[in-house]
Structure 1
């Protein structure tokens, strides 16, 4: 019996009998829900994260992500089969290692795999024969094999022989009340049949469906194609919103009517821009890789450019309208943003268009405050450390009267929009919350942007 077959057979038996020990590297918005889902599927799980405060909070059963069920982390910890560590040595005891670290853009706007490289280097010091390593972070096609694999093989072990290496792109949608980690099909890619079989066997125990593809590169491309599709369509609908507005047509009336067509159309909705760690990043990775191999994606690049300018366009519209409608210059203006999250009902401000709008307004001299029930105080973040400590203002009639304009940037559920409609001087709505919820508002002071 060859070594590869023996190691894979042993691991497969452990997976089938729920005896495999799983380590999840990175306990953020992707890694922590995945770790909990794997645990709830019957496996022992150890989460690894270098943030010792977060590790301590998780081990104390604290609800570190608000949209998770209140007692979900505490219940997992109390089982004795779920815990967290800030020491990479914890992966020695694991049979399966899932890497869920950030892959942002660098200061030049190019793909930044520094976290993947750091994770790979740290893992190589503790890698054991027979382990299955799966990268879930967004990367360009080919990165698992050309970036991560050499780092892991610095351990002296060979991928496909001594350990198994695959890619399965995360499809987490923070705060989604319908689709959860365990109900979303998982793409699994490996460069050999043995690895693909192990990936399929494991993920089928955790999620509703595992979808094997023939290589890591194919799986990597799947994630980028999915998100780039959304980027292009968001750019399209935002551009259409502006054009139709000039024709005196509200796109929010057009979309539901168009969506009645049972084929050939999928509704996308306008907004203040794109946010999160996926949609703004994936098309950049894909376009960068296309140029790297001598190709190009001009349509994608144009869509990216358009979505990147949306927050600035909205900020300029607000400044212009305040000047015309209220006679207030930017340097004297006060604006309240409703929401800093990039999407509703979550405490996630990564690449938030609301923050981009805030920066454009402040650069023009506008005084900007915000109200967001998910950010009573802005935390220290990777992207916006200078905003740490800013506080959400209380939403009262008196407070609203003190601003020249209010802009809805995030359509959180639990915000008193009726109060805003009654007491704000000017209201700008980038999310269709007033008409969408049937909230009456004086049209002389109301603008959709």
Structure 2
């Protein structure tokens, strides 16, 4: 069975099913379609499915032309999960958020898996790409995949291969980012390598799904811990009257032993704000407390409140209160030059400002209308960034440093700017660093 499936994958005769057509699933589906595979994209959002089938992209860095080319090459999207039976490979690319208690929410993974279980058959490979804690593939997917009598490693094959997408990064694409692959059995690993070998330039095989799961967490916890460090350093430097960005730039001249990380208003994106909590939660099962990781998470989670505190002080220094002030938040995507709003710290800043009684607006060329989000709601559209508009607000809160902003115009016309990204390196009376 494995030999036959590997042959289909190698010859590009296999049908690839991608479950979850978001920031991870969509580029992957396009890559397989580009290579000549028949691709079925599954999603529960009927509107998104209709748009994709009509050649309309809902992700900024993927064009309508990209979707149309993929459709012409054989990409078809559907909300009908019974069609999972048609696929030789089923790749799960669904969200793994945290619940209100900051604990892992695997409902998307579990619900998606259960939606395909009735249609699983011998000769398929199931690969989970969603970020999660070590043991998820074995504990959650394995019993469901085998519930119908299929044997993993003989009839059906189970793989974990963490996504490594970086939306908006022009230096790396889906196929140039090395792919870590772990299988539940050695045969599963061989099938997993065959699944990704044609689509990805470099495959990095590891000994188990748990190793692959922990690899993904380490990558992002490494960043979260270092960002937590530099965010704490920012607070100390600010109290001492030192520009932390000047310090980082100077330290970065050392050609060894130092990697520059930059502070901001908090962590954003689907992985970095979430991954540390996945590991700390799982570690408690083993009687361990990951104090270092948890502390960095606390520091990073406190950054939106730190920014709001800076806004409050800046207004107070100008004989204004936060309550009733008109504030313009500059940039609300989680990082520069993308439209990705997942876990954006700018949204929490907006919510804190609104809760304090401020009138909040935003300007973001990548997010023309505030999107539907699971936990946040603002009935707002992006404000055109003109001198008159900038001057009309009591303060501008810079939370995402998009390249499209005219920063000199903003500096010239803003009453006060609270800069959480270090855009303005030269001191000015209307610049407050946060």
Give me the TM-score of the superposition, normalised by structure 2: 0.97
Matching residue of 1:11: 5
> Residue 351 of structure 1 contacts residue 383 of structure 1 at CA under 8 Å; is this kept in 2?
no
Moved more, 230-239 or 329-338: 329-338
Asked whether 1:446 is paired with 2:428, we answer no
| Aligned equivalent of 1:46, options 37, 40, 49 | 40
Encode CA deviations 1:299-358: one digit per residue, 9 max, x unaligned.
00000011001000110111012101x100121322110011111122221111101111
Quick one: distance in 1 between partners of 2:75 and 2:390? 46
Which has the higher mean CA deviation after the structures are superposed, 268-277 or 63-72? 63-72
| 1:28 pairs with 2:18 | no
Whole-angstrom distance in 1 between the partners of 2:250 and 2:390: 35
Deviation at 1:70, TM superposition (A): 4.6
The DSSP-based 3-state class of the residue aligned with 1:47 is: strand
Residue number in structure 2 paired with 1:413: 403
In structure 1, what is the Cα distance between the partners aligned to 2:117 and 2:152? 12
Deviations 1:238-290 (A, max 9, x none): 11112122333212122222222222111111111101111111000000010
Q: Is the 8 A contact 1:23 1:96 kept in 2?
A: yes
- In structure 2, the residue matched to 1:227 is 220
Q: Is 2:320 the partner of 1:340?
A: no
1:394-415 per-residue CA deviation (whole Å, 9 max, x = no partner) reads 2122211221110111111111
Given the alignment of the two structures, is residue 288 of structure 1 paired with residue 273 of structure 2, yes or no? no
Structure 2 residue aligned with 1:422: 412
Among residues 321, 329, 343, which one is paired with 2:321 in the alignment?
329
What is the aligned partner in structure 2 of residue 241 from structure 1? 234
Task: Return structure 1 stretches of 4+ with deviation > 3 angstroms.
Answer: none
Counterpart of 1:157? 150
Aligned match of 1:64 in 58, 64, 84?
58
> 2-side partners of 1:303 and 1:219: how far apart?
23
SS in 1 for 2:328: strand
Q: How do 1:275-314 and structure 2 match up within 5 A?
A: 275-314=268-307
The residue aligned with 2:124 is 131
Displacement of 1:154 in angstroms is 2.3
Q: How does 1:186-265 map to 2 (within 5 A)?
A: 186-265=179-258
The structure 2 residue matched to 1:403, chosen from 393, 407, 431, is: 393
Name the count of aligned residue pairs: 434
Q: CA RMSD for the aligned pairs?
A: 1.3
- State the partner residue of 1:382: 374
What runs of 5+ residues in structure 2 fail to find an aligned partner?
none
Unaligned 5+ runs, structure 1 = 1-6
CA deviation string 1:78-104 (max 9, x = no partner): 22x111111111211111110001110
- Give the TM-score taking structure 1 as reference length: 0.94
Contact 1:371 1:394 in 2 (8 A): yes
Deviations 1:18-58 (A, max 9, x none): 11110000001111011111222332211000111101110
How far the C-alpha of 1:156 sits from its partner, in A, is 2.6
